[in-house]
């Protein structure tokens, strides 16, 4: 209800909706892809480190990115 009330107030006050974010450039997309890949490697490494004593669990990894 509160959100609906806020929307009504903003509508009556003539507050414009925020602009749509600009699309990512090719360089931005590359940075994001590299960051995601680095995070995936870190998570896999942490899982493997936690499960070193258990050979059945030590081979756990994430699926390859699509």
Note the pLDDT tens digit of each residue in 36-52: 999 999 998 888 788 77
- pLDDT, residue 30, reads 97
Which residues in the chain show pLDDT less than 50? none
3-state SS of the chain is CHHHHHHHHHHHHCCCCCCCCCCCCHHHHHHHHHHHHHHHHHHHHHHHHHCCCCHHHHCCCCCCCC
Question: What's the rounded Cα separation, in Å, for the pair 61 and 47?
Answer: 8
Indicate yes or no: pTM above 0.75: no
Question: Which residues are within 8 A (CB) of 61 and not within 5 positions of it... i.e. 6 or more apart?
Answer: 44, 47, 48
């Amino acid at each position: 209800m509160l959100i609906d009330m806020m929307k009504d107030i903003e509508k009556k006050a003539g507050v414009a909706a925020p602009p749509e974010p600009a699309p990512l450039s090719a360089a931005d997309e590359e940075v994001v892809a590299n960051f995601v890949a680095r995070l995936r490697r870190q998570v896999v490494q942490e899982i493997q480190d936690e499960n070193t004593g258990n050979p059945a669990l030590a081979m756990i990894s994430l699926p390859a990115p699509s």
